[in-house]
Amino acid sequence: MKRIAFFLLSYLCCFCMMTNAQEASDRFRQINREFLDPASPRVLIAAHRGAHLDAPENSLEAFRQTIDMGIDIIELDVRCTKDGQLVVIHDRTVDRTTNGKGAVDSLTFDEIRKLKLTFRGRQTDQQIPTLKEALMLAKGKILVDLDIKAVSCIDKIMKAVKETGTETSCFFFVTKIEQVKLLKEYDAGFRTLLRTNSGKDAQAALATIRSEAIHIDTSHNTKAVTDLIKRSGSRVWINALGAVDEKAAGGQVEAFEEVLNEGANIIQTDQPALLKQYLEKTKRRQ
C-alpha cells in the first residue's frame, strides 16, 4: 500500500508540474502576441526592478515573484564588472543595495558575488544576479526589459541574449536611433524600446526606424502621439513611477488614469499588483 501511495503521490506531483509548466508556456505565448500587437486593447504591465516591494530589487527572488503575480514584463538593469561580466544592478555603486561598497565597474565579478543584497535595511542571503541567470529564469515565462546602464557593454549583452536563446523573451531599452539600428543589424529579430523626449522626437524616430515599443513621457502623452505610434506598429510605453504610483499606493488607484487616458498600452510601475487589480477592474486585461 505504501508503494502504491508513493507512486500515486509521485504521479500527482509530476502532473501538477506539467500542468503549471503548460500554463506558464501558454501565458507567455499570450504576452508575446500582445506585445507585438499595438492594436490590442490589453494593457501590459512592467514591474520596475521586479517585485521589489516584497524582495530585494533586481534580485532573482523579485523576478520569481513577478512571474508568480502574473505580470507581463520584468524591467531590470544591466552593468559590467571590472572584468567585463554582466550583472543585474541599478546603481553605479553597490552601496545602497548590498552589504558592500564601491563602483560596480571597479569590482571584479568574484568580488561582486561575495556581496549580499539587502532588503529594507537588512542583509539577505541573495546575491547580485548575472544577466544570464535572470534571462534563464525568465525564459518562456515573462518578457524582460533590458535597461542598459553600461552602453559600452552592449555587444556583450547582445551575445548573452543570443547564447541564452532569449531573443523572444526580452527587448532592449535604448535612447538613440543609432542604437536601435545597431541592434537590428546584429539580429533583425532583436526587439527594442526606444525612448523619445517629445512628440516631434517620436515622429522623427518612427520615420527612420522600426521599434517594437516607444517610450513616451507625460510631456507628450497625447492621443495624437499614441495613435501615431500604434499606427506605426509599435506599443506605447509610459511610466507610472513617482507621483502616480504614490497616489495609487495611498488609496487613489484611479490615479493610474493619468498615464492611461491618452492610449498608452504598456505601463511601468513600482506597484504592479495594484495596477493589475485596477486594469482587471476597468476591463483592460481581458
Question: Residues with catalytic annotation?
Answer: 48, 90
Beta-carbon contacts of residue 109 (< 8 Å; ≥ 6 apart): 81, 82, 83, 85, 87
What is the per-residue DSSP string for 7-74? Answer: HHHHHHHHHHHHHHHHHHHHHHHHHHHHHT-TT-SPPEEEEETTTTTTS-TTSHHHHHHHHHTT-SEE
Contacts made by residues 56-60, CB under 8 angstroms, sequence distance 24+ = 56/97, 56/117, 56/118, 56/119, 56/124, 56/126, 57/90, 57/97, 58/88, 58/89, 58/90, 58/97, 58/128, 58/129, 59/117, 59/124, 59/126, 59/129, 60/126, 60/129, 60/133, 60/134, 60/137
In 3D space, the residue among 242, 247, 230 whose CA is nearest the CA of residue 270 turns out to be: 242
